[in-house]
Amino acid sequence: MKELTHLDSQGQARMVDVSAKANTFREAVARGSITMTQETLKRIQDQAVPKGDVFAVARIAGILAAKEVPHLIPLCHPLLVSAVEVSFFPQMDHSRVEIESRVKTVGKTGAEMEALVAVSVAALTIYDMCKALDRGMTIGEIRVVSKKGGKSGGLYP
């Protein structure tokens, strides 16, 4: 198989041709976090944020975002996404929420970008819904933690 590159012979950006690859099951898991004051986290958990149920809205936003990746990232292939899960793990002792997304598909390319975008948009939605309460929130540590399928499936550092 020819070497995969994002540059054509003139050095111009291009979408990688995956037409010769087989369709296989693929899954990607990404994680990130948003740090905030303990009072903000308590209000989220108590569903006492003026804009409503923060986790419910952020979950829907993350799922929607995963399905829109090729419209946001220019060289990403459109995927037929089979499933998107977005989960939240509040950690009062660290004053943060851990966010995890799991994206599944059957296709020729992985779902890492979809998982990363789901986590990112879920975190941004939490920020948006709580910014009137806490302007010091910090989003970070967004990364792929595992993937299945394709040649390089496995755990990430």
* Distance separating alpha carbons of residues 62 and 30, to the nearest angstrom: 12
Of 8, 46, 128, 134, catalytic: 128
Nearest alpha carbon to residue 62 among 107, 118, 9: 118
* Distance separating alpha carbons of residues 143 and 120, to the nearest angstrom: 10
Instruction: Identify whether 128 is a catalytic site residue.
Output: yes
Number of neighbours of residue 118 by Cβ within 10 angstroms: 33
- Bridge partner list, 90: 97
Q: Indicate which residues carry an active-site annotation.
A: 128
